[in-house]
Amino acid sequence: MSTETKIELDKFMVSASPHIRCDESISKIMWSVNAALAPAALFSIYNFGMPALTTMLLCILSAVVTEYLILKWQKKPMVVKDGSAFLTGLLLAMNIPASLPWYMPLAGSVFAIAIAKHTMGGLGFNIFNPALIGRAFLLASWPIAMTTWPITAMAGKVDGLTSATPLGILKLQGYEKLVQHFGDTATMYKSMFLGMRTGSMGETSALLLLLGGIYLIYKGYIKWQVPVIMIGTVGVLTTAFGGDPLLHMMSGGLILGAFYMATDMVTIPITTKGQIIFAIGAGALTVLIRLKGGYPEGVCYGILLMNCITPLIDRLVRPVKYGARR
């Protein structure tokens, strides 16, 4: 058979799906998300110093080692290099204070990987975002340590001193006291945007988080509807309740959660319409907890509660089969 004939026959070969392939892979996507988070992560190290680097390395290493040991025990293929465990550890580090004792980040990462991820079957089967489950576990286990915030370099760091987050001041003392804390409204907005404030390691700089999120949208790894609608929902509802929308949209972990955790491909609805419902629900729950609940921040629980009903959303907005009517 000639080469030309073989090439012509190859055009009619029938094989199993998928028939359309691309060069994207789980590993490439995961490491791209890690890269998008890198500027904000490096800024947090500058902002909080060596404790931030130590906490970050503890979270990442314990997550990767836990995944390796579980896969080895289960005699499954080693997929540690896919970057998912690394990302879980990094996201957990971005969601906690830099001042935690060494054993808390370690415990949070082990819980995130072993309980939230692998008890449900591993990557692709977890119902909840593992990093957020790790954060919720730490908050429930060590609430004082998880709500003690070191003063940052950008805010005028003095070793050993701690301060309340902007949302904490707003919750306990009111809006006027918060503005006085920064000096004036314009300075408050600037501090929120650039990162001159206290908070979790990775939530301080709205600018760097936005740049990383825009990169992920550009690459097509996340859809713009989820972060934009979730953040927009928070802005609209806080305005309706008489709050400051810009303050709420830039403070806390909203931008971090909206771009990097609400968009988790495993725990979010499949369809765009379902993802819009998810984003609205997560934003509304965030506002409800912030304004009416006992915690000053509600992003973590807002996303986790919506993770619970993702299967229901998928059933309600199931796409019509090709050629069929509703």
| Per-residue pLDDT tens digits of the chain, which is 326 residues long | 555 555 554 555 555 555 555 666 778 888 899 999 999 999 999 888 899 999 999 999 999 999 999 988 988 776 667 788 999 999 999 999 988 999 999 999 999 999 999 888 888 888 999 999 999 999 999 999 998 887 665 554 434 445 678 888 888 888 898 888 888 899 889 888 888 778 888 888 899 999 999 999 999 999 999 999 999 999 999 999 998 999 999 988 899 999 999 999 889 999 999 999 999 999 999 999 999 988 888 899 999 999 999 999 999 988 777 666 66
In the structure encoding, which two tokens stand for residue 52, read together?
A: 């931030």
pLDDT value of position 163: 65
In terms of Cβ atoms closer than 10 Å to its own Cβ (0-12, 13-18, 19+), residue 36 is buried
Q: At what angle do helices 185-194 and 175-182 cross, to 10 degrees?
A: 80
Q: From the centroid of its chain, how far is CA 197?
A: 19
Q: Report the distance separating Cα 148 and Cα 7, nearest Å.
A: 67
Q: How many helices (H) and strands (E) does the chain have?
A: 17, 2
Strand partners of residue 162 = 150
pLDDT value of position 149: 82
For residue 101, say if its preceding peptide bond is cis, omega within 30 degrees of 0: no
- Under 8 Å between Cβ of 319 and 312: no
pLDDT value of position 16: 57
pLDDT value of position 79: 65
Q: What angle do CA 213, 218, 221 make, to 5 degrees?
A: 75
- In this structure, which amino acid lies at residue 63? A
Q: Is the dihedral of CA 222, 228, 229, 233 positive or negative?
A: positive
Output the CA torsion 314→29→134→55 (10° steps).
Answer: -160
- Under 8 Å between Cβ of 219 and 32: yes
Strand partners of residue 163 = 149
**Residue (of 188, 153, 191, 148) closest to 168 by Cα position:** 148
Strand partners of residue 180 = none
In the structure encoding, which two tokens stand for residue 204, read together?
A: 């301080």
**Residue (of 21, 6, 24) closest to 219 by Cα position:** 24
Q: Report the distance separating Cα 68 and Cα 40, nearest Å.
A: 27
Q: Report the distance separating Cα 110 and Cα 118, nearest Å.
A: 11
In terms of Cβ atoms closer than 10 Å to its own Cβ (0-12, 13-18, 19+), residue 121 is exposed
Strand partners of residue 149 = 163
Q: Report the distance separating Cα 64 and Cα 53, nearest Å.
A: 16
